[in-house]
Structure 1
Amino acid sequence: MIEVYIDGASAGNPGPSGAGIFIKNAGKVERFSLFLGEMTNHEAEFHALLHALKICLQNGFRTISIRTDSELVSRSMEKEFVKNKGYADLLHTALQLSKQFELFFIKWIPSSENKTADELARQGIRKHKEKGANTKNE
């Protein structure tokens, strides 16, 4: 089973946001650090999930276990419902993607167990800030 750790982060709420994805596959690891644009922290968490699901599908993974420190994302996926209608489209897309796997699990984990994905998400924000700073100096 493929273990996928995800996290979203925002520098402000809303603010520049990033997604971190850490995939463990039979001893091999892959790390993804993505800039997401301006959004809230909860939106960043959902976008981290969406990107992770797409990466796993592109790699042909059939059985995955997502680990997230976002209670909102894990509960929403398990219950297939979100109270805040602003997240409904994100949840709907995530549910559609998750149904393409033979087996899909999502589990909430404490932040202390998700440090790698958290750092990758923060790197996504920093990369964008550094790129913006370099662009302004040119």
Structure 2
Amino acid sequence: MTNIDTIKNIAKGKKIHIYTDGSSKGNPGPGGYGIFIEEFLENKNYKRQIISEGYRYTTNNRMELLSVIVGLEKIPQNRQNITVFTDSKYIINPINKNWIYTWEQNNFKNKKNIDLWIRFLKVFKKHFIFFQWMKSHGYHYINDYCDRLAEMAVKKKN
């Protein structure tokens, strides 16, 4: 497939927005994540999905990364046009600055959360993904909602 074909496929595909947030009380400590997925379908229809989960002992960075992974894993079809909104520079910088590929080439030597970064790359490579950073607690209602979902998940940790 040529680059032009790829661009055409992106343009005619449905758009998907994934909003994510992760949290932990203590670092490490109990934690959780919240995810809000919007799929914009034909005829101005849309589908929404809300996901959250809590953990007994984790870190904030693990929850931030896991929220993105789980959100992407919920998209059943490959090669989708996805925008991921996150307030985590822990996720944004490795992607937007292309560090992730160097890490992968070096087998994630001296990196934390290797299991999650490997899992992330598997799902990341299946789609056309743009990452958009949002200011934490910046009064964006969906980002704030994901924050509340993550906080509630911390309290209901599995």
Please indicate the TM-score interval, normalised by the length of the shorter structure: 0.7 to 0.9
Q: Which amino acid aligns with 1:43?
A: R
User: How does the TM-score come out when normalised to structure 1?
Assistant: 0.80
2:109 is equivalent to residue 91 of structure 1: no
Q: Is the 8 Å Cα contact of residues 3 and 64 (structure 1) preserved in structure 2?
A: yes
Query: 2: CA distance between counterparts of 1:84 and 1:107?
Result: 27
Query: 1: CA distance between counterparts of 2:131 and 2:110?
Result: 20
Aligned position for 2:56: 37
Residue from 107, 110, 113 that aligns with 2:135 = 110
What is the identity percentage for the equivalent residue pairs of Structure 1 and Structure 2? 32
Where structure 1 has 5 or more consecutive residues not aligned to the other structure, the ranges are 132-138
Between Structure 1 and Structure 2, whose CA radius of gyration is higher? 2
Q: CA RMSD in A?
A: 2.1
Q: Is the 8 Å Cα contact of residues 33 and 120 (structure 1) preserved in structure 2?
A: yes
Query: 1: CA distance between counterparts of 2:149 and 2:83?
Result: 19
Query: 2: CA distance between counterparts of 1:122 and 1:38?
Result: 14
Q: Which amino acid aligns with 2:122?
A: Q
Query: 2: CA distance between counterparts of 1:115 and 1:45?
Result: 14
Where structure 2 has 5 or more consecutive residues not aligned to the other structure, the ranges are 1-14, 41-45
Aligned position for 1:63: 81
Aligned position for 1:28: 47
Q: Which has the higher helix share?
A: 1
Runs of 4 or more above 6 Å deviation: none
Q: Is the 8 Å Cα contact of residues 20 and 33 (structure 1) preserved in structure 2?
A: yes
Shift of 1:105: 1.3
Decide whether aligned partners of structure 1 residues 84 and 6 sit closer, same or farther in structure 2, where only a CA change above 3 A counts: farther
Of 65-74 and 119-128, deviating more is: 119-128
Decide whether aligned partners of structure 1 residues 87 and 30 sit closer, same or farther in structure 2, where only a CA change above 3 A counts: same
- Aligned to 2:54, the other structure's residue is in SS state strand
Shift of 1:84: 5.8
Shift of 1:83: 8.9
Residue from 49, 53, 61 that aligns with 2:68 = 49
Q: Which amino acid aligns with 1:41?
A: N
Residue from 90, 96, 99 that aligns with 1:72 = 90
